[in-house]
Structure 1
Amino acid sequence: MEEKIFERKQANAVVISSRLYNLTIGAVLCWGFWVNWMMVSTIPVEPLQSISPLIFFIGYFASCLLGIYLFTRSDNALISFIGYNFVVIPFGLIINIAVSRYNPDLVVEAIKITGLVTGIMMVLGTLFPKFFAKISGALTISLLIVIGVELFQIFVLGIHQAWLDWAVVMIFCGYIGYDWGRANQIPKTLDNAVDSAAALYMDIINLFLRILRILGRK
């Protein structure tokens, strides 16, 4: 059985320099963000909104799960990158629908705040990797609880309380620090760089969507 990404202790490919490793993570992240930007810029939101929600979310989760399976199970950087794109594309559709509801200036502000927060959490993840490792279990439990409460409020009570968005922001801030800290503790190979970028991408996009919702509410 393959090792989980951040539990890998031995390199299954050529080890690269720390600089190239971090540059690869950055480049893969930028690719995902660029693809999302192109999707938002070129895909009209109306056809997406006309799709049955059930069909849309089945396709969304199927693509994400396939992508996650590919980049977590593969030791080949190219296959992992393909898996990464299977995650980026459905996230891009969600982003497209989300940003269409807000003023472009608000979206830009959310991007700036997300970038600033991400940078801070990466620095903290570098300085205090053991701290973030200790809270990883609490982050997972907290996220599951928040998702459960949110789904209950939406589908049963028909409400959505603002504190849930703040809770998700805090959780994904923790995940960014955690995933960045772990990314720099595993063998520095191209495949691990792609896998680490994929994990960070999902953290950052979830953080952005919640920040955008909080700003939009104000």
Structure 2
Amino acid sequence: MIENDTFNRVGTNHQISANAYNLILGAVLLWGFAVNWYLVTTVPAEVMLAIPPIAFYIGYFVLAMAGVALLSGSQEPMYSFLGYNLIVVPIGLLLVVVLPRYSHEHIIQAVQTTILLTAGMMILGTLFPAFFKRIESSLFIALLVSLIVELGQSFFFGTHLAAMDYIVAAIFCGYIGVDWGRANRIERTVDNAIDSAAALYLDIINLFLRILRIMAKK
């Protein structure tokens, strides 16, 4: 989820058709997943693990925050797409480290489940946009509380409750419906399509990682 003024751009100043808008949004989403796949299949995990963790996470957050800043502050498609890639690349490098911990079977199952849930939530977001608009604030509070609980569990007790993965997965399912509904309410421009794709990309990646943990624990 990305919070900026993109989803406040509600109006009738549509610059492209609905078909073109959805095509661009889908293409940008697929580009992000393709970059992730390329990094996972070409960058050895040993290379990333050789980087000191502090340096890796500092670089990760610097690039990701720079990407969010570009997406939030620009209405130029070129800069928004650059910002999108600044988010996609560090997440791809994180996946290089994370995915080898899981079996190929679990990864495939998680991908399939994520695709089905994403498609289902997009359909629901299209059919019931008012409902998802109402629950947007509740989802944000639920996600914030969940992250605080998880951090507390990790730092103070060194544990992780399996139930939290189900809860956070459900929250990101809701966010897919929210962000898809918002994407279809705003003005149809190339920049808005890229910004909407970035928000959905983060929802889907987070959902995938939670489902992968759930599959592995089973």
TM-score (norm 2): 0.95
State the one-letter code of the partner of 2:157. Answer: L
Please state how far the C-alpha of 1:58 moved relative to its aligned partner.
Answer: 1.4
Please state how far the C-alpha of 1:71 moved relative to its aligned partner.
Answer: 1.2
Aligned partners of 2:184 and 2:16: how far apart in 1? Answer: 12
Helix, strand or coil for the counterpart of 2:101?
A: coil
Aligned partners of 1:39 and 1:95: how far apart in 2? Answer: 8
Please state how far the C-alpha of 1:54 moved relative to its aligned partner.
Answer: 1.9
CA contact (8 A) 1:11 1:189 kept: no
State the one-letter code of the partner of 1:111. Answer: V
Aligned partners of 1:128 and 1:6: how far apart in 2? Answer: 17
Decide which moves more: 45-54 or 199-208. 45-54
Gaps (5+ residues) in structure 1?
A: none
State the one-letter code of the partner of 1:138. Answer: S
Aligned partners of 2:62 and 2:138: how far apart in 1? Answer: 27
Give the match for residue 136 of structure 1: 136
Identity %: 51
Give the match for residue 203 of structure 2: 203
CA contact (8 A) 1:106 1:215 kept: yes
Give the RMSD, CA atoms, in angstroms: 1.3
Aligned partners of 1:92 and 1:33: how far apart in 2? Answer: 9
Decide which moves more: 55-64 or 168-177. 55-64
Aligned partners of 1:186 and 1:135: how far apart in 2? Answer: 18
Aligned partners of 2:165 and 2:57: how far apart in 1? Answer: 21
Paired residue total = 215
Please state how far the C-alpha of 1:10 moved relative to its aligned partner.
Answer: 4.6
Give the match for residue 184 of structure 2: 184
Please state how far the C-alpha of 1:127 moved relative to its aligned partner.
Answer: 0.7
CA contact (8 A) 1:98 1:209 kept: no
Please state how far the C-alpha of 1:34 moved relative to its aligned partner.
Answer: 0.3
2:155 counterpart of 1:155: yes
The Cα offsets for residues 104-123 of structure 1, whole Å up to 9 and x where unpaired, read as 12111110100000000000
CA contact (8 A) 1:139 1:175 kept: yes
State the one-letter code of the partner of 2:43. Answer: I
The equivalences for 1:1-218 within 5 A come to: 4-10=5-11, 15-218=15-218
Gaps (5+ residues) in structure 2?
A: none
CA contact (8 A) 1:132 1:174 kept: yes
Aligned partners of 2:77 and 2:30: how far apart in 1? Answer: 16
